[in-house]
Structure 1
Amino acid sequence: MTTTLARRLGLGDAIAIGLGAMIGAGVFSAFGPAAQAAGTWLLAGLAIAAFVAYCNATSSAQLAAVHTIAGGTYAYGRAELGAWWGYTAGWCFMIGKLASCAAMAMTFAAYAAPAGWERPVAILAVVALTGVNLLGVTRTALAAKIIVTIALVALAIAVAAGLGAPAAADSASFAGELPAGVWGLLQSAGLLFFAFAGYARIATMGEEVRDPARTIPRAISIAFLAALVVYALVGAAVLSALGADGTAASTAPVADAVVASGWTWAEPVVRVGAAAASLGALLALIAGIGRTGLAMAREHDLPTQLSAIHPRFRVPHRMEVAVGVIVVTVVAFADLRGAIGFSSFGVLLYYLIANLAALRQGEAVRRYPRWLQVAGALGCVLLAFTLPWQSVLTGIAVVAVGIAGRAIRLARERRRAEAEDRDAP
């Protein structure tokens, strides 16, 4: 029976999967909610989100260079901090990224589906991309490269249109007072953090990357910096074309910015790019959740039946099918803004544990100074608890359910073991 994944991904493949997870995870969906919170200070919120994400990226890179197995911070937390820490990280990742999958499917449908058909089209997208992932990780990487290329071309057109047109009246960055004060600025950073979380997808696939100790840190750094440049340019272009109020009111700000700039011919191109970017993020998300779920199933933190690996395609096929079923269910009932906030809360707690695990590592394997991990941990806590209160309360409740579930399972196993010891001759 096959029990390990195959190392088939090179540096270019890993970068493509990371970019595919990031380009679209926020650039087409998070600027509107962030503008509602921060107004013309939107780019300041982006800078805060980028700094916290950079701290987290360096922690992930340092950990991935040592722990070259599937599972990301679930595996790192178990190895560096203990089983409970690893489980909490894995549970937060699973719930946060399942919400991200739903958000990406709904973003795709918002740009690509006819009015009234958004949910059916989103569900079909989830089913189709789950099927692509089941064909093997090299198919996932190839699809990610194609999708990222289409998205970047569309975004380049949007940036040219937005920055080349007359600026909107309320487009000046950092002008005027913050509409919701410092709290709103931090909330916008928490919402925009959603856009940067894709680099973790590279780390979760550590068991499938060639020369992981060298490839994964390089891929994470390159993908993160590339995404940051893209986000900064797109954010500036959207704010220039629509202004703060227009961005906050828009459900498709990148496409609306192109129209406002007079480049109406380019709107279909941008919509195709937005749809492609959303599909790329969804593709990588399904793959990443599948690998973390595989690691959790191997340790009995999820049903062990989900740890099966397909003998031909070498993917965790049962886990990925389960992910697809759950995401389809979420898409049927969730809304986009709620999915983004809930996803950010779960992922920020996940990275809190990543920073603590990296802080625990010794000098022999240290690649980055400890202050980056301290700053990353504090930033994760701050941004998590400045998100919309509905997202925070829901997130706390779901995390508590997960912790309680594991505690009940361990208690039952302990009682069973004690009963067996008593009955033994």
Structure 2
Amino acid sequence: MSDYKENSLSLTGAVGLGTGVMISAGIFALLGQIAALAGTWFPVMFIVGGIVTGFSAYSYIKMSNEYPSAGGIGMFLAKAYGQGTITASAAMLMAISMVINQSLVARTFGTYTLQIFGMDATSYLVPVLAVGLLLFAFLVNISGNSFIQTFTSIVSLLKILGLVTFAMGGLWVAGFSITPAEGSGGTEDATIASIIAAVALTILSFKGFTTITNSGSEIVNPNKNVGRAIVISISISLFVYLLVAWAVSSNLPLDQIIAAKDYSLAEAARPAFGDYGVWFTVAIAIIATVSGIIASVFAVSRMLAMLTDMKLIPHKHFGMPGRIQKHTLVYTIVLAMVLAVIFDLSRIASVGAILYLVMDMIVHWGVFRHLRDKVDAKPWILITALILDGIVLTAFVWVKLMNDWLIVAVSLIFIIVIFVGEYVFLKNRDDGGEAHADHH
């Protein structure tokens, strides 16, 4: 059995977990990639991404109000589709996208840490540092909910204050001139497709709000506080993203932002504050990525444990002692380590965005088709969320097919393997021991 503790997370703790996941790789690693796709007005993409995320969050808030669960999205899907292939596969897409995000955050930690020593972001030390951070996250996560929520809440506050300080300083140096980054003849002009595709990465930087839904039954007064925590977390993150994006845009020309895509914040601090600014930015990045990893691992391990309890995914103990939740924690960390070693930042982010958007559309359709009356959801909001996701996903896949088709191929392989694997597993499982969606 898994180990869930009701009322072990406060509203503040839930917000800390949400912002802990969101304000990490989302702003540190993705800023340059978003600029490469959207061009000089890339900060605006965060507003668009925030709007799309707001529509998307509606389904999760409505479901959380009705079915608060430590399994979060896994439980929502079970309510909408039953305990079959669609539920299991979509939940696994979510879990894998979260693990991919963990590897993204871990590599971001390595990339920024090396800036202190003036080392290249392609150094072999990047995956080494990433693996070390993931190991640290494992040790923190086995220490219990109370320590986790206290740690992530404090660290989230520190990094938000740090990023706001960085942004205000950068805007002050630029005379608080909110102007787009200067273009360059060496950069490609953004197209409508690439601009829409950029929204996919901004959505990825907001998707940490799902961390809150995956801790639903552990939050105090979850029927109200899950929704509140989601809204507060998205609002805080959007404010911080906009402030930082405009600061970077005001201090670096577009070609330099794109060239330093994996560590653009550190590079933007250099002209404004010199080496001290770089060190300050790196310190914030380290704080942000550490809290992001811990919060994400916390959420995905609980989601996998819930899916195991529901007998929707296979589970092997491999001789490990303890509860299922601890086992899924180990699986989460190991997979994230492997991905952090194999893939670079841009490819990790792209695959994660595709898997997440596919899963998100499945959730919206499930709520619209089967549960909108039960959870008192407005159909037009659900359909709008579905359409927006579809537009963004189509544009993103199109751009990646033109520039890096391997990303699309890897994402498609992930999706096919997950759906086929779940179909085979569920077809051959022992139904006599099947758990039920209402188990928790």
For the structure 1 residues 260 and 167, does the alpha-carbon distance in structure 2 shift closer, same or farther, using more than 3 Å as the test?
farther
Counterpart Cα distance in 1 of 2:205 and 2:103: 14
**1:38 alignment partner AA:** A
Contact kept, 8 Å, 2:14 with 2:149, in 1: the verdict is yes
Q: Could you say what secondary structure the match of 1:285 adopts?
A: helix
Contact kept, 8 Å, 1:73 with 1:86, in 2: the verdict is no
Contact kept, 8 Å, 2:36 with 2:258, in 1: the verdict is yes
1:256-335 matches, cutoff 5 A? 256-305=267-316, 316-335=325-344
Contact kept, 8 Å, 1:71 with 1:296, in 2: the verdict is yes
In the alignment, what sits opposite 2:435?
none
Counterpart Cα distance in 2 of 1:147 and 1:52: 27
| CA-to-aligned-CA distance 1:192-248 (integer Å, 9 cap, x gap) | 211101010000111211211011001101111111111111111111111322211
1:405-420 matches, cutoff 5 A? 405-413=421-429
* TM-score (normalizing by structure 1): 0.90
Q: Could you say what secondary structure the match of 2:89 adopts?
A: helix
Which structure 1 segments of 5+ residues have no match?
418-425
Match of 1:209 among 200, 207, 219: 219
Contact kept, 8 Å, 2:372 with 2:379, in 1: the verdict is no
| CA-to-aligned-CA distance 1:133-159 (integer Å, 9 cap, x gap) | 111122211121122122112212221
For the structure 1 residues 290 and 2, does the alpha-carbon distance in structure 2 shift closer, same or farther, using more than 3 Å as the test?
closer
For the structure 1 residues 14 and 335, does the alpha-carbon distance in structure 2 shift closer, same or farther, using more than 3 Å as the test?
same
In the alignment, what sits opposite 1:12?
12
In the alignment, what sits opposite 1:421?
none
Contact kept, 8 Å, 2:4 with 2:70, in 1: the verdict is no
Counterpart Cα distance in 2 of 1:382 and 1:396: 18
Provide the alpha-carbon RMSD of the alignment: 2.8
* TM-score (normalizing by structure 2): 0.87
In the alignment, what sits opposite 2:197?
187
In the alignment, what sits opposite 2:36?
36
In the alignment, what sits opposite 2:407?
391
Q: Find out whether 1:401 has 2:417 as its counterpart.
A: yes
**2:337 alignment partner AA:** V
Deviation of the 1:384 alpha carbon = 2.2
In the alignment, what sits opposite 2:362?
353
Counterpart Cα distance in 1 of 2:38 and 2:68: 39
Deviation of the 1:168 alpha carbon = 12
For the structure 1 residues 273 and 302, does the alpha-carbon distance in structure 2 shift closer, same or farther, using more than 3 Å as the test?
same
Contact kept, 8 Å, 1:134 with 1:317, in 2: the verdict is yes
Match of 1:369 among 350, 362, 378: 378
In the alignment, what sits opposite 2:233?
223
For the structure 1 residues 91 and 400, does the alpha-carbon distance in structure 2 shift closer, same or farther, using more than 3 Å as the test?
same
**2:66 alignment partner AA:** V
| CA-to-aligned-CA distance 1:228-276 (integer Å, 9 cap, x gap) | 1111111111111113222111131112112122454222111110111
For the structure 1 residues 309 and 227, does the alpha-carbon distance in structure 2 shift closer, same or farther, using more than 3 Å as the test?
farther
For the structure 1 residues 157 and 264, does the alpha-carbon distance in structure 2 shift closer, same or farther, using more than 3 Å as the test?
farther
Contact kept, 8 Å, 2:372 with 2:378, in 1: the verdict is no
Contact kept, 8 Å, 2:88 with 2:313, in 1: the verdict is no
**2:75 alignment partner AA:** A
Q: Find out whether 1:253 has 2:253 as its counterpart.
A: no
In the alignment, what sits opposite 2:98?
97
Deviation of the 1:178 alpha carbon = 8.2
| CA-to-aligned-CA distance 1:77-110 (integer Å, 9 cap, x gap) | 1102333332122111122111111100000111
Which structure 2 segments of 5+ residues have no match?
433-440
For the structure 1 residues 150 and 358, does the alpha-carbon distance in structure 2 shift closer, same or farther, using more than 3 Å as the test?
same
1:83-162 matches, cutoff 5 A? 83-113=84-114, 114=117, 115=119, 116=123, 117-162=125-170
Q: Judge which range, 233-242 or 243-252, deviates more.
A: 243-252
